[in-house]
Structure 1
Amino acid sequence: MISHLVERKLKLSPPLTRNVVVQKDLRVPMPDGVELLADRWTPRSGGDGLPTALIRSPYGRRMFGQILARPLAERGYQVVIQSVRGGFGSGGTFDPMTQERADGLATLDWLVEQPWSDAIVLYGLSYLGHVQWAVADQLPPQVKAMIPVVTESALTLEFLRSDGMSLETPFGWGVLVGTQERPLAMLRQAGQERKTARALSTLPLREADVVAFGERSAYIQDILTHDADSERWQGFDHSARVAGVTVPVSSIGGWYDIFLPGQLRDFEVLQAKGRPARLTVGPWTHAEFNSTPIDEAVSFGLAHARGEQPADRAPVRLYVMGEEAWRDFSSWPPPGYEPRRFHLNADGVLGAEPGESSTDSYHHDPADPTPAAGGVRLVDDSGRVDNTALEARPDVLTYTTPVLGEDVEVIGEVSAEIWFSSSLPYADVFVRLCDVDPQGRSWNVCDGLVSLTGAEEVQRADVRLWPTAYRFRRGHRIRVQVSSGAFPRYARNPGTGESRATASTLLAADQTVHIGPARPSAITLPVR
């Protein structure tokens, strides 16, 4: 029954067999004497010697085994799914992302020695993909391919930027791993999500973990007090290992995925080094499960594990939103797309040239924060959503082109420069690109935020938005939003200069966007 449900939910092709068995609680020794537990999924007959998919997970082996391991074991693999250190029966203490290189290399050494294992494929999404990058430059010859899905080599560091702290995702993940082994955790999930959402408004934020689940979390305390450059996160960043990868890599991401910029950076490194790599990016959020990763594990991973070449396809396959179609390209970013500036002008107009000098202002109150609406999030309200209600708020400015007389195709990196000042020295600038349809509904395409200091003086805010592939159709309009937050996706800026962890006072501010030839606020889109 589970096999049929997973097949229907993920829209998978029929399996080779549904008759699989699980060898539970294999003990994998680490050099320091700790043992990590793993389950081995195989077809009931003929499993020995099949290519082995290795999955290392902090979320347990049983439920994830049904979703991740079973479909692969039914389609030509044997699968080893291991609980990482400190969770779900594995020994030691869980310290997120800091132990995965040493433990991953030791696990590979163990797997190579097993008489039933030969060729190995590394597979997994999110944290389960990050652990692949942790070992990627020191793989034994038995590893034939990597398939990292919605992940990157420097996991979570984008969230902890000193100039733009994300809150909802790293905090929510800290709550998840802090509560997932409690009794009846799955049944209590909806209630826990409500408590977590309330906790994000706690002042000071250093008390939010106790509000969310009743105890201190060392990880949550650390994300609130250490930014991305802190020594605390030294073990997190494996980006320097990407260039050393020699096995073929198939990287799968989503336009609304939380890790997309880093994932594209990793692919660009492989591409520049001439490594055998390909990239697939769909219209997905982080938590969307679909057939693509499993299809790729079968068509790409099994082929390399057997010493064959997978079916030929372009190195880059992108889903172009708006056109709602898959397209193939030779590289990322694709050739032929040139940067074009769209300037913020008076009266809410977005134009090809800067207009007369003027200003637009709005009042921002972090006690009534500008809300996140869709976009790059882990909650249900993610991806493309109608932004009409958001844009009706007085703390959101919008700038819109006339109706397009022809399609405008945008594929690549998106950025904005906003000339900005505030009545306070500390302020955030949030920029969002939207598609306005003929009915007047505004749909978010991509966005980004940057935090400023010295904002009482006019300065240029350089905002890096998420990359995208989007076709704005003839008859639609292109819109840019400017505001000072997207809560709780990003932490509220208290306006005081205090640490986000300790701030207990929130100050409202009057924000000003400056436009015109001398201060040419604009968004830059890669256009063909």
Structure 2
Amino acid sequence: MMKDGYIVVYQDVRGRWMSEGTYDNMRAYIPNKTGDQFDEASDTYDTIDWLVKNVPNNNGNVGTWGISYPGFYATYSLLDAHPALKASSPQACIGDFYFDDFHHNGAYLLSYWRATSVFGYEKTKPTNEAWYDFPDLGTEDQYQFFLDAGPLSNLDEYYKEDNVFWQQLKEHPDYDEFWQRRGIIQHLKNIKPVVMVVGGLFDAEDLYGPFETYEKIEENSNNYNTVVFGPWSHGDWARTKKRQAIGNVYFGDDISVNYQQDIETKFFEHFLKGDGNGKPKLPEAYMFDSGSLEWKEYTEWPPKNTAKKTFWLQNDQRLNDRAEKSYTFEEFVSDPKKPVPYTEDIKMVFTPRKFMTDDQRFAARRPDVLVFETPVLSEDMTLAGDIMAKLKVATTGTDADWVVKVIDVFPPDAQNTEETQDHLKMSNYHMMVRSEVLRGRYRNSFSKPEAFVPNKKTDVTIKLQDVHHTFKKGHKIQVQVQSTWFPYIDINPQTFVKNIFYAKEGDFSKQTHKVFNDSSIEVMVLQK
């Protein structure tokens, strides 16, 4: 960007790196500030105001950009925006910490536990060197480490009271005022600057944020607002690798570079250096199809020409688009001491990424994973939009997690690529297309947890984030349902306790879960 004549400014937020002040993780927005009140919006306003008045040779047009946490701050810049702020591109942006990064629908993402070091320790002075340390775990086997560690309360030995964020996670397991105030999605109204939201279809960290940011701005503002989603993991589009792949799945060459040159550059060129009028000849929604491996342009997202289709989770492992007149159930035993792995890769990671397209055959072979599958498709079927899992369940316990995965089963003649791992073949590959978890106690309210009544049939609805994927002719659609996903998420005791962060060994118990055959998966199918 500097070669193209942009003036690039990078600023640390209060209390981080070279900035003074006190750090507040996901600082809450304050509408109608008075006196000396401040938030990230007012800090951004003040920064822009100083820059346009003091930096030589600027043209008075300012843009904001950021990925992940900086993406959250880019979104924040849109609130009470400075008149000079013309364009913003929040990318992989956190929208709400209860649904991004460290939580998914009330379940704690144990796989992000090591990242607590980065956000939990306060520094004493401005610095350009890391002031935090990662705990020495003595192993690279993440599954075994967390299994041996047992309840979350046993992890206190690694993070003491000086880790502020760990204490906050422990004290606020529910979606209470602490988390609600830190969410930014609800404040995205009457946005004036133009916006381009960017995300990765396989972002394990921040998938909720980009979709919700685009959707809420679209609903509540009259500005120019566009969205881009490609076949990327977290922030992958900022890199320049030749072959774009996630795990074993190859999507094409030069996808990120082409995006940078043909989409991102055009956006900022038009609104910061051009006349800024009208639209920069970019689509409203530019979405990569992760099944057909091609970009598609839409005038809105989700596309207009979609129709809802329902698949029923029927006995004998059938996924059927016709409901049955009578219903039975499938059942499995969920044992906290033998949780279903979220991946075959045992490596300890800072945050997981590659598993989002993992082969799910290893899970399908387990007795505590239910599998439902369509016949071989006779024609292509493109899903474009969100997925709703409407489960009818029962448990012998008083709490349970529910995990739903939507999977593309490749045909026997599928060809390997150079990304295919040695122990795998793409023949009959079970590619995870979308997945999500709901902590069952939050089935009716994320703020007011409630126990299950043992053996009582209960509705559990899970929203899976949007997809844009073509299940091709000759493939099959598969749905897996399970109750553990370890150590991506922590283990539910399956006995209702007030706060799982304080659960003890004796609270964990083996339970039997039922999924009734009137459970369904609702998808949005693109019409031809």
Common topology (TM > 0.5): yes
> Matched residue of 1:111: which SS?
helix
- Offset of residue 152 of structure 1: 4.0
Compared with structure 1, are the counterparts of its residues 160 and 317 closer, same or farther at alpha carbon in structure 2 (3 Å cutoff)?
same
Instruction: Give 1:333's match in structure 2, choosing from 302, 305, 312.
Output: 302
> Distance between the aligned counterparts of 1:145 and 1:225, measured in 2?
38
Listed one character per residue, the Cα deviations across residues 280-313 of structure 1 (whole Å, up to 9, x for unaligned) are 0011111424346744442111321124356412
Alignment CA distance shift 1:228-1:102 (3 Å) = farther
- Alignment partners' CA distance in 2, 1:104 and 1:199: 42
1:314 maps to a residue whose letter is P
Which residue number in structure 1 is paired with residue 496 of structure 2? Answer: 497
Match of 1:321 among 286, 290, 312: 290
SS at match of 1:363: strand
Aligned twin of 1:113: 53
**Structure 1 residue 155: deviation in Å?**
4.4
Q: Do the aligned partners of 1:76 and 1:298 also contact (CA within 8 Å) in 2?
A: no
Alignment RMSD: 3.0
Closer, same or farther: CA 337–191 of 1 in aligned 2, 3 Å: farther
Residue 228 of structure 2: SS of its match in structure 1?
strand
Give the match for residue 523 of structure 2.
Answer: 525
- Find the residue that maps to 1:86 and give its secondary structure: coil
The aligned amino acid for 1:252 is V
The within-5 A match list for 1:501-512 is 501-505=501-505, 506-512=508-514
Task: Give the match for residue 274 of structure 1.
Answer: 222
TM-score, structure 2 normalization: 0.78
* Secondary structure, counterpart of 1:78 in structure 2: coil
Residues 394 and 261 of structure 1: is their aligned pair in 2 closer, same or farther, counting only changes over 3 Å?
same
Partners of 2:121 and 2:141 in 1: CA distance? 11
- The answer to whether the 8 Å contact 1:175/1:196 transfers is no
C-alpha distance in structure 1 between counterparts of 2:170 and 2:340, whole Å: 21
Aligned equivalent of 1:256, options 202, 213, 224: 202
- Whether the 8 Å contact between 1:159 and 1:165 is mirrored in structure 2 is no
**Are 1:451 and 2:439 counterparts?**
yes
Give the distance between the partners of 1:503 and 1:297, measured in 2 at CA: 47
Task: Report if the CA contact (8 A) 2:98-2:105 is conserved.
Answer: no
**CA contact 1:87–1:94 (8 Å) conserved in 2:** yes
Q: CA deviation at 1:163?
A: 5.3
More deviation in 322-331 or 456-465?
A: 456-465
**Distance in 2 between residues matched to 1:195 and 1:96, nearest whole Å:** 28
1:88 aligns with 2:57: no
The 2-side partners of 1:135 and 1:239 are apart by 13
User: Residue 68 of structure 2 contacts residue 91 of structure 2 at CA under 8 Å; is this kept in 1?
Assistant: yes
**Which one has more relative contact order, counting CA pairs under 8 Å at least 6 apart?**
2
Aligned residue in 1 for 2:444 = none
Alignment CA distance shift 1:463-1:115 (3 Å):
closer
Q: CA offset at residue 78 of structure 1?
A: 1.5
Query: Contact 2:194–2:223 at 8 Å: present in 1 too?
Result: yes
Determine if contact 1:406/1:473 at 8 Å carries over to the other structure.
yes
Matched, 1:436 2:409: yes
Residues 133-174 of structure 1: CA deviation (Å, up to 9, x unaligned):
223121112111001111144345446769532323653432
1:25-174 correspondence to structure 2 within 5 Å: 72-98=1-27, 99-116=39-56, 117=58, 118-158=60-100, 164-168=106-110, 171-174=113-116
Q: Which runs of 5+ in 2 are unaligned?
A: 28-38, 240-255, 413-427, 441-450
Shift of the 185–239 alpha-carbon distance from structure 1 to 2, 3 Å rule, reads: closer
Find 1:304's aligned residue among 271, 277, 287: 271
Pick one of 209, 228, 232 that aligns with 1:284.
232
Aligned positions, number: 451
- Structure 1 position 76, deviation (Å): 2.9
Give the aligned residue type for 2:223: R
Paired letter, 2:430: S
How far 1:100 moved relative to its partner?
2.5
CA distance in 2, matches of 1:455, 1:471: 39
Offset of 1:88 from its aligned partner?
1.6
SS where residue 240 of structure 1 aligns? helix
Rounded to whole Å, the distance in 1 between the matches of 2:83 and 2:315 is: 61
Residue by residue over 1:176-233, the C-alpha shift from the partner in whole angstroms, topping out at 9 and shown as x without a partner, is 335798998699979779679477553442442542x677411122123314632223
Q: What code does the residue aligned with 1:83 have?
A: D
The answer to whether the 8 Å contact 1:246/1:275 transfers is yes
SS of the residue corresponding to residue 101 of structure 1 reads helix
Post-superposition shift, 1:390?
1.5
| Residue 357 (str. 1) matches residue 327 (str. 2) | yes
Write the letter of the residue equivalent to 1:107.
T
d(CA) in 2 for partners of 1:283, 1:90: 35
Structure 1 length-normalised TM: 0.78
Q: 1:274 to 1:106 in 2, by over 3 A?
A: closer
* Greater strand content: 1
Aligned counterparts of 1:357 and 1:502: Cα–Cα separation in 2:
39
Task: State which of 172, 191, 206 in structure 2 corresponds to 1:226.
Answer: 172
Contact 2:342 2:355 in 1 (8 A): no
Q: In the alignment, is the contact (CA less than 8 A) between 1:366 and 1:492 conserved in 2?
A: yes
- CA pair 193-488 structure 1, distance change in 2 beyond 3 A: farther
Change beyond 3 A, Cα 1:188–1:137: closer
- Which is worse superposed, 198-207 or 178-187? 178-187
Letter in 1 for 2:169: I
Q: Quote the residue 2:339 is aligned against.
A: 369
Separation of aligned partners in 2, 1:192 and 1:329 = 48
CA 1:320 to 1:265, structure 2 compared with 1: closer, same or farther past 3 Å?
same
**What CA distance in whole angstroms lies between the structure 2 residues aligned with 1:267 and 1:221?**
32
User: Secondary structure of 1:256's match?
Assistant: coil
The alignment status of 1:482 with 2:452, answered yes or no, reads no
What SS does structure 2 have at the residue aligned with 1:80? coil
Q: Deviations along 1:229-253, whole A, 9 cap, x unmatched? A: 3222354222233222111101101
Aligned partners of 2:273 and 2:296: how far apart in 1? 28
Counterpart pick for 1:413 among 382, 386, 389 = 386
Separation (CA, whole Å) in 2 of partners of 1:496 and 1:216: 30
Following superposition, the deviation at residue 379 of structure 1 comes to 1.7
The 5 A counterparts of 1:460-479 are 460-479=459-478
Task: Name the counterpart of 2:418.
Answer: none
Q: Which runs of 5+ in 1 are unaligned?
A: 1-71
* Rounded Cα–Cα distance in structure 2 between residues aligned with 1:455 and 1:436: 36
1:84 and 1:523, CA in 2 relative to 1: closer, same or farther beyond 3 A? same
Give me the whole-angstrom Cα distance separating, in 1, the residues matched to 2:104 and 2:408: 30
8 Å CA contact 1:123, 1:146 repeated in 2: yes
**Secondary structure in 2 aligned to 1:524?**
strand
Tell whether the 8 Å contact from 1:161 to 1:228 is kept in structure 2 after alignment: no
